[in-house]
Every structure is written in structure tokens, then in C-alpha cells.
């Protein structure tokens, strides 16, 4: 008997036994007088039978089959014992997991589940296993004592597109590149000297907001929350590109950029089926990646490219040397800091890196002022004693 699978084959022979009679009956049935072998095809497997010594093969196969099953059983049991046990959690539907039960106020639902399953529990969202932590002590252990283990993140399809493949400090994996970027940010970009150099930019923006209220809002109702939000966003924009944009185009450029980033936040925040079932990512059923690449990102990149290229021209012309702050140092925004940053090898940041970093800075600032800050204000309003 010869079994052929692809390019490999094995030859086994038998002279007598029940299999010989079977071969003779097959020979008679198909009327082949001198057939020395018979060929049967089962899907992709081809079986060649030779009428020599077949009984020994089947004896070995019968004895080997139980041994194979026992070996597989013990291997599965051993691998199961080596894997860490998962925490408890709510049951979900097959394939979909807990997705059909997700509610609008997710943080309230997570709190309810924590009351039932404890401070750490699991959720299956599609094919993704999620572990929810609701204990401050456990969070401290994760982000401080075991931060390296939990440093990498499971990124969304839209997030990877928006950050040019995850080259920013938020999306990049933990490794030499991330450590280098973190060192540059902590020691250079967020150093006391650079923050002091940007003080004038922050002060001028606050004064500008107050002057705008004095000139145009006297005698009218003012939404304090909206005023604070707009002032904070304008401060962030001033910190990003400072006086690069002309005063006449400053407001228009800022409004257009904020609208584009708001649309980007909306797309990043939108649930995407590709994130829960990565095998479907290539199809982009909801069109989020397509809208991001064709509608939103080109507008943001166009604005940032214009600002970066104009600042480079200003540096070459020496125009920045004349801009001094009240404390005696030159005004320095985040764009200028990124252009001056160099790694350990003396290499400056690339144009794409600078563009992505500026976008992420404004993106995170917008998320904080539009979501986290209002939540904090509502909490303080409901618990005024916590303010002091």
C-alpha cells in the first residue's frame, strides 16, 4: 500500500490476508486483468494499494491510534495548566461575545459588573478578550509596578491610520523607539525651561479672551463653560504653533483645524466592527478608514504641513530671533521645540513625526477639555466638599 500526500509517500506491501481478497474483488469489479495497483482519490489524498503485506500496516495503525489520542490529551492538559486562569465575567453570545449587551453609559455598566464579579473581570467583545480593572490598588500595581508588561496596547484600525502606523509616543509599542521618544519629551519638551519659554504664549491668549469679552460681551449673557473651553483650546493652538500663522488668518485657521480634529475624534470614537473582528479589517464595512483617509486626514495634514514648512522658512530667514518674551527668553512653542529636538545620534525628528506629534497633542488636549474636564466639573458640583 502506498499513501501519497503532496510530495511525500510511504510504501507498504502484503502477500495474503483479507485485504488480498478485497483487492481481487475490486479487480474483478473494474475488469482489470493485470492491475498491479489501484488508485483511489479522496479530495487531496491519493491512495495507492499494492497487494503485499497489508495486514501488518493496519495492526500498527490500530495500535498507534489510541497512543496518539492519549498523547494529544496530555499535551492539551499540560498547555491548559501552564496558561494563567482567567478572572470571572459575564457570559456572552457565541462569536459576538458581550457586544449585544453593551450600554451607552459604559462606565456605569462597568461599575455594576464590578459589584457582581469583583474588581477584576473579563469580557469577550467579539474575538477580543478584555479584562476590566476597577480597583485603585490594582490599577496602581499595573501602571507602576508592572508598567512594562502592560505598556503595549491593542490599537484600533482608525488609530493606526491616523498616526501613520503608530509612530507617536501614544500608539508606538514599548521598545527602544518609545523609550527614546519618552526621554525627548520628558527632558526636553516638558522641561521647566521650555515651559517657562511658552508662558508668554499662554498669558497672551488668556488676555485676548478677556479683551474679547470686554469689547463684545458687555451687557449680554455669557456661557462661562463655553468661554473657558474655547480659551483653553486657543491656548493649546498657541502652544502648538505660536505666531506662525498671520494674525489676519489666525482665527480662521484655528476654527478650521478644530473642526477637522473634532471630526477625527468622532471617527476614532465610533465603534468599528474591524476592531472586534480583526479578520474583517481589510473589508472596512463601515467605511471609517476610507472616510479617514479620503476626507479627514488630508485636511489636517495640509494645515500642519503649511505651519511646519512656514516655521522652517522663518528659522532660515532668522525672523524668530526678534521674538522675545517678557522674562528675557525667546518665545518657544511646541513646534519650535520639536524642530530643535535631536536624538542620541544627533538626528532631528522627521517631518512626518513632527506632524503626527502635533496632531496627537491637540487631539489629547481636545479629549481632555471636551470630556474629562466636564465630568470632573459635574463631580465637583455634586460634591462641593471635595473642592477644598
Cell of 176: 527602544
d(CA 221, CA 344): 54
pLDDT confidence of residue 12? 37
Backbone angles phi, psi at 137, to 5 degrees: -65, -40
> Is residue 282 classed as helix, strand or coil in its secondary structure?
coil
User: Domain-by-domain residue ranges, the chain?
Assistant: 2-82, 99-150, 161-387
Average pLDDT of every residue of the chain: 75
d(CA 332, CA 9): 74
pLDDT tens digit sequence for 274-323: 999 999 998 999 999 999 999 899 999 999 999 999 888 888 887 665 45
Higher pLDDT, 55 or 174: 174
> Is residue 29 classed as helix, strand or coil in its secondary structure?
helix
CATH of domain 161-387: 1.10.630.10
Mean pLDDT, range 237-254, rounded to an integer: 77
d(CA 215, CA 224): 16
Q: Is 303 exposed, middle or buried (0-12, 13-18, 19+ CB in 10 A)?
A: buried
pLDDT confidence of residue 276? 92
pLDDT tens digit sequence for 33-87: 444 444 444 344 444 445 454 556 556 666 676 777 777 766 666 555 555 688 9
> pTM of the prediction?
0.67
| Closest listed residue to residue 230, CA positions, set 200, 210, 244 | 210
Residue length of the chain: 388
d(CA 221, CA 320): 40
pLDDT confidence of residue 117? 94
Query: Within a 10 A sphere around the Cβ of 278, how many other Cβ atoms?
Result: 13
pLDDT tens digit sequence for 176-229: 888 888 887 777 777 778 778 788 888 888 898 898 888 888 888 888 777 877
Amino acid at each position: 500500500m502506498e499513501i501519497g500526500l503532496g510530495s511525500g509517500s510511504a510504501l507498504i506491501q502484503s502477500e495474503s490476508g483479507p485485504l488480498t481478497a478485497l483487492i481481487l474483488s475490486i479487480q474483478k469489479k473494474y475488469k482489470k486483468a493485470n492491475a498491479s495497483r489501484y488508485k483511489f482519490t479522496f479530495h487531496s489524498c491519493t491512495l495507492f494499494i499494492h497487494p503485499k503485506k497489508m495486514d501488518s500496516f493496519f495492526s500498527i495503525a490500530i495500535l498507534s491510534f489510541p497512543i496518539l489520542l492519549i498523547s494529544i490529551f496530555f499535551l492539551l492538559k499540560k498547555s491548559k495548566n501552564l496558561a494563567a486562569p482567567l478572572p470571572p465575567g459575564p457570559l456572552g453570545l457565541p462569536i459576538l461575545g458581550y457586544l449585544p449587551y453593551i450600554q451607552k453609559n459604559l462606565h456605569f455598566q462597568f461599575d455594576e459588573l464590578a459589584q457582581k464579579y469583583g474588581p477584576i473581570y473579563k469580557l469577550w467583545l467579539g474575538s477580543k478578550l478584555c479584562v476590566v480593572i476597577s480597583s485603585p490598588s490594582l490599577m496602581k500595581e499595573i501602571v507602576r509596578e508592572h508598567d512594562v508588561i502592560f505598556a503595549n496596547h491593542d490599537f484600533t484600525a482608525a488609530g493606526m491610520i491616523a498616526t501613520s502606523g503608530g509612530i507617536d509616543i501614544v500608539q508606538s509599542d514599548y521598545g527602544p523607539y518609545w523609550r527614546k521618544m519618552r526621554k525627548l519629551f520628558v527632558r526636553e519638551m516638558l522641561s521647566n525651561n521650555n515651559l517657562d519659554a511658552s508662558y508668554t504664549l499662554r498669558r497672551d491668549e488668556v488676555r485676548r479672551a478677556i479683551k474679547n469679552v470686554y469689547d463684545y460681551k458687555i451687557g449680554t449673557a455669557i456661557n462661562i463653560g463655553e468661554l473657558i473651553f474655547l480659551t483653553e483650546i486657543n491656548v493649546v493652538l498657541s502652544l502648538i504653533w505660536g505666531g506662525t500663522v498671520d494674525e489676519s488668518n489666525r482665527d480662521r485657521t484655528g476654527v478650521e483645524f478644530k473642526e477637522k480634529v473634532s471630526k477625527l475624534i468622532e471617527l476614532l470614537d465610533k465603534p468599528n466592527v474591524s476592531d472586534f473582528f480583526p479578520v474583517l479589517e481589510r473589508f472596512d464595512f463601515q467605511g471609517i478608514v476610507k472616510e479617514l483617509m479620503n476626507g479627514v486626514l488630508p485636511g489636517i495634514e495640509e494645515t500642519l504641513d503649511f505651519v511646519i514648512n512656514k516655521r522652517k522658512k522663518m528659522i532660515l530667514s532668522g525672523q524668530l530671533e526678534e521674538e522675545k518674551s517678557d522674562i528675557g527668553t525667546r518665545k518657544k512653542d511646541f513646534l519650535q521645540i520639536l524642530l530643535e529636538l535631536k536624538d542620541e545620534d544627533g538626528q532631528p525628528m522627521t517631518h512626518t513625526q513632527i506632524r503626527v506629534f502635533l496632531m496627537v497633542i491637540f487631539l489629547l488636549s481636545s479629549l481632555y477639555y471636551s470630556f474629562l474636564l466636564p465630568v470632573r466639573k459635574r463631580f465637583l458640583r455634586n460634591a462641593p466638599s471635595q473642592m477644598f
